[in-house]
Protein backbone atom coordinates (compact mmCIF):
# COMPACT_ATOMS: atom_id res chain seq x y z
CA UNK A 1 0.00 0.00 0.00
CA UNK A 2 1.17 3.52 -0.83
CA UNK A 3 2.68 5.47 2.08
CA UNK A 4 1.21 8.71 3.39
CA UNK A 5 2.61 12.18 2.85
CA UNK A 6 2.54 14.41 5.93
CA UNK A 7 3.80 17.98 5.83
CA UNK A 8 4.60 20.30 8.74
CA UNK A 9 4.31 24.05 8.32
CA UNK A 10 4.61 27.23 10.35
CA UNK A 11 6.75 30.29 10.83
CA UNK A 12 10.27 29.81 12.13
CA UNK A 13 10.56 28.63 15.71
CA UNK A 14 7.05 27.10 15.59
CA UNK A 15 8.40 23.69 16.64
CA UNK A 16 8.25 21.77 13.34
CA UNK A 17 11.59 19.98 13.68
CA UNK A 18 10.83 18.98 17.27
CA UNK A 19 7.41 17.65 16.27
CA UNK A 20 8.76 15.87 13.17
CA UNK A 21 11.05 13.66 15.29
CA UNK A 22 8.26 12.87 17.76
CA UNK A 23 5.89 11.86 14.94
CA UNK A 24 8.52 9.67 13.31
CA UNK A 25 9.08 7.84 16.61
CA UNK A 26 5.31 7.38 17.11
CA UNK A 27 4.78 5.97 13.61
CA UNK A 28 7.80 3.69 13.84
CA UNK A 29 6.44 2.37 17.15
CA UNK A 30 3.36 1.27 15.14
CA UNK A 31 5.62 -0.72 12.82
CA UNK A 32 5.55 1.73 9.92
CA UNK A 33 8.58 2.66 7.82
CA UNK A 34 9.08 6.42 7.98
CA UNK A 35 11.27 8.89 6.08
CA UNK A 36 11.88 12.23 7.76
CA UNK A 37 12.86 14.93 5.30
CA UNK A 38 12.74 18.68 4.72
CA UNK A 39 12.38 21.41 2.13
CA UNK A 40 14.21 23.05 0.65
CA UNK A 41 16.54 20.05 0.68
CA UNK A 42 16.17 16.36 1.48
CA UNK A 43 18.56 14.96 -1.19
CA UNK A 44 22.22 15.88 -1.84
CA UNK A 45 21.40 18.07 -4.87
CA UNK A 46 18.34 19.66 -3.23
CA UNK A 47 20.47 20.42 -0.14
CA UNK A 48 22.94 22.25 -2.40
CA UNK A 49 20.05 24.31 -3.76
CA UNK A 50 19.00 24.96 -0.15
CA UNK A 51 22.44 26.40 0.63
CA UNK A 52 22.24 28.61 -2.45
CA UNK A 53 18.85 30.03 -1.59
CA UNK A 54 19.28 30.43 2.18
CA UNK A 55 22.81 31.82 2.34
CA UNK A 56 22.98 35.59 2.45
CA UNK A 57 25.17 36.82 -0.39
CA UNK A 58 26.07 40.01 -2.20
CA UNK A 59 23.93 39.33 -5.23
CA UNK A 60 20.22 40.20 -5.32
CA UNK A 61 17.80 37.28 -5.64
CA UNK A 62 14.37 38.43 -6.82
CA UNK A 63 11.25 36.92 -5.20
CA UNK A 64 10.49 35.14 -8.49
CA UNK A 65 14.03 33.70 -8.70
CA UNK A 66 13.72 32.56 -5.08
CA UNK A 67 10.42 30.86 -5.96
CA UNK A 68 12.00 29.07 -8.94
CA UNK A 69 14.87 27.77 -6.80
CA UNK A 70 12.39 26.47 -4.20
CA UNK A 71 10.53 24.58 -6.94
CA UNK A 72 13.75 23.31 -8.56
CA UNK A 73 14.78 21.84 -5.20
CA UNK A 74 11.24 20.45 -4.75
CA UNK A 75 11.25 18.75 -8.17
CA UNK A 76 14.55 17.01 -7.38
CA UNK A 77 13.37 16.04 -3.88
CA UNK A 78 10.05 14.64 -5.16
CA UNK A 79 11.67 12.63 -7.98
CA UNK A 80 14.54 11.19 -5.98
CA UNK A 81 13.12 10.77 -2.50
CA UNK A 82 9.42 11.48 -1.86
CA UNK A 83 7.65 9.69 -4.74
CA UNK A 84 9.83 6.52 -4.60
CA UNK A 85 9.37 6.35 -0.81
CA UNK A 86 5.56 6.70 -1.03
CA UNK A 87 5.44 4.04 -3.73
CA UNK A 88 7.43 1.65 -1.49
CA UNK A 89 4.84 2.16 1.26
CA UNK A 90 7.05 4.46 3.37
CA UNK A 91 5.32 7.27 5.26
CA UNK A 92 7.02 10.58 4.50
CA UNK A 93 7.12 13.38 7.07
CA UNK A 94 8.31 16.54 5.38
CA UNK A 95 9.33 19.70 7.26
CA UNK A 96 7.77 22.30 4.87
CA UNK A 97 6.40 21.87 1.33
CA UNK A 98 4.54 24.01 -1.22
CA UNK A 99 2.45 25.76 1.47
CA UNK A 100 5.76 27.33 2.58
CA UNK A 101 6.18 28.80 -0.91
CA UNK A 102 2.58 30.06 -0.81
CA UNK A 103 3.19 31.64 2.60
CA UNK A 104 6.78 32.96 2.29
CA UNK A 105 7.12 33.84 -1.39
CA UNK A 106 3.38 34.52 -1.92
CA UNK A 107 2.35 36.11 1.39
CA UNK A 108 5.75 37.38 2.53
CA UNK A 109 7.33 38.56 -0.71
CA UNK A 110 4.21 39.25 -2.81
CA UNK A 111 4.85 36.73 -5.61
CA UNK A 112 1.65 36.16 -7.60
CA UNK A 113 -0.56 33.22 -6.70
CA UNK A 114 -0.91 32.32 -10.40
CA UNK A 115 2.86 32.00 -10.81
CA UNK A 116 3.16 29.77 -7.72
CA UNK A 117 0.18 27.58 -8.64
CA UNK A 118 1.44 27.10 -12.21
CA UNK A 119 4.75 25.87 -10.83
CA UNK A 120 2.98 23.63 -8.32
CA UNK A 121 0.92 22.11 -11.18
CA UNK A 122 4.06 21.56 -13.26
CA UNK A 123 6.14 20.05 -10.47
CA UNK A 124 3.60 17.99 -8.53
CA UNK A 125 0.25 17.72 -10.32
CA UNK A 126 -1.71 14.97 -8.58
CA UNK A 127 0.49 14.91 -5.49
CA UNK A 128 -0.77 16.79 -2.44
CA UNK A 129 -0.05 16.04 1.20
CA UNK A 130 -2.49 13.62 2.87
CA UNK A 131 -2.22 15.74 6.01
CA UNK A 132 -0.69 19.15 6.71
CA UNK A 133 -0.14 20.23 10.30
CA UNK A 134 0.17 23.99 10.66
CA UNK A 135 1.88 24.97 13.91
CA UNK A 136 0.57 28.45 14.56
CA UNK A 137 2.00 30.92 17.07
CA UNK A 138 2.49 34.68 17.39
CA UNK A 139 5.43 35.93 15.34
CA UNK A 140 7.21 37.50 18.32
CA UNK A 141 7.25 34.16 20.17
CA UNK A 142 8.49 32.26 17.09
CA UNK A 143 11.31 34.77 16.62
CA UNK A 144 12.21 34.58 20.33
CA UNK A 145 12.44 30.77 20.21
CA UNK A 146 14.45 30.80 16.99
CA UNK A 147 16.86 33.46 18.34
CA UNK A 148 17.39 31.46 21.55
CA UNK A 149 18.11 28.31 19.54
CA UNK A 150 20.55 30.21 17.27
CA UNK A 151 22.50 31.46 20.30
CA UNK A 152 22.57 27.92 21.77
CA UNK A 153 23.94 26.50 18.51
CA UNK A 154 26.10 29.48 17.51
CA UNK A 155 24.35 29.64 14.08
CA UNK A 156 24.51 32.59 11.65
CA UNK A 157 21.23 34.16 10.48
CA UNK A 158 20.09 33.15 6.98
CA UNK A 159 18.23 35.23 4.36
CA UNK A 160 14.85 34.60 6.01
CA UNK A 161 15.85 34.85 9.64
CA UNK A 162 16.93 38.47 9.10
CA UNK A 163 13.41 39.43 7.90
CA UNK A 164 11.11 41.78 9.84
CA UNK A 165 8.14 41.10 12.12
CA UNK A 166 5.92 42.59 9.37
CA UNK A 167 7.24 40.01 6.88
CA UNK A 168 6.60 37.07 9.24
CA UNK A 169 3.14 38.47 10.08
CA UNK A 170 2.22 38.32 6.38
CA UNK A 171 3.60 34.77 6.22
CA UNK A 172 1.53 33.74 9.26
CA UNK A 173 -1.63 35.31 7.82
CA UNK A 174 -1.21 33.46 4.53
CA UNK A 175 -0.65 30.19 6.38
CA UNK A 176 -3.86 30.72 8.37
CA UNK A 177 -5.75 31.46 5.16
CA UNK A 178 -4.44 28.24 3.56
CA UNK A 179 -5.40 26.22 6.66
CA UNK A 180 -8.96 27.60 6.55
CA UNK A 181 -9.44 26.74 2.90
CA UNK A 182 -7.79 23.31 2.57
CA UNK A 183 -9.42 20.25 4.18
CA UNK A 184 -6.04 18.46 4.42
CA UNK A 185 -4.78 21.13 6.90
CA UNK A 186 -5.10 21.04 10.63
CA UNK A 187 -4.03 24.07 12.64
CA UNK A 188 -2.44 23.46 16.06
CA UNK A 189 -1.82 26.14 18.68
CA UNK A 190 1.99 25.98 19.00
CA UNK A 191 2.01 28.19 22.11
CA UNK A 192 0.88 25.15 24.07
CA UNK A 193 3.47 23.00 25.84
CA UNK A 194 5.21 20.54 23.51
CA UNK A 195 3.39 17.53 24.98
CA UNK A 196 -0.02 19.01 24.07
CA UNK A 197 1.15 19.98 20.57
CA UNK A 198 2.36 16.41 20.07
CA UNK A 199 -0.86 14.89 21.45
CA UNK A 200 -2.99 16.92 18.99
CA UNK A 201 -0.71 16.03 16.09
CA UNK A 202 -0.92 12.35 17.03
CA UNK A 203 -4.73 12.56 17.17
CA UNK A 204 -4.72 13.94 13.61
CA UNK A 205 -2.39 11.13 12.55
CA UNK A 206 -4.61 8.48 14.15
CA UNK A 207 -7.43 9.57 11.86
CA UNK A 208 -5.10 9.06 8.90
CA UNK A 209 -4.07 5.60 10.19
CA UNK A 210 -7.73 4.59 10.56
CA UNK A 211 -8.45 5.63 6.96
CA UNK A 212 -5.86 3.12 5.74
CA UNK A 213 -8.20 0.16 5.80
Binding site for ligand Z5A (CB under 6 A): 10, 12-18, 39-40, 54, 70, 95-96, 100-101, 104-105, 145-146, 149, 160-161, 190, 193-194, 197
Closest approach of Cβ 10 to ligand Z5A, in Å? 6
104, 12 contact by CB (below 8 A) = no
Closest approach of Cβ 211 to ligand Z5A, in Å? 26
> Which CB atom, from 52 or from 209, has the smaller least distance to ligand Z5A?
52
> Which CB atom, from 56 or from 88, has the smaller least distance to ligand Z5A?
56
Report how far residue 111's alpha carbon sits from residue 113's, in angstroms, rounded to the nearest whole number. Answer: 7
Closest approach of Cβ 79 to ligand Z5A, in Å? 16
List Cα–Cα distances, 204 to 44, 198, 208, in angstroms.
Answer: 31, 10, 7
Closest approach of Cβ 12 to ligand Z5A, in Å? 3
> Which CB atom, from 88 or from 149, has the smaller least distance to ligand Z5A?
149
Amino acid sequence: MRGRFITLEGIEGAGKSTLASALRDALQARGLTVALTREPGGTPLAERLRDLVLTRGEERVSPEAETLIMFAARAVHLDNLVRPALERGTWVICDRFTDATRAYQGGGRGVSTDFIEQLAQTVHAGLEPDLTLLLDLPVEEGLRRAARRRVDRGDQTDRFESETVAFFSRVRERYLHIAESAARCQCIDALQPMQLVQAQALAALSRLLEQRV
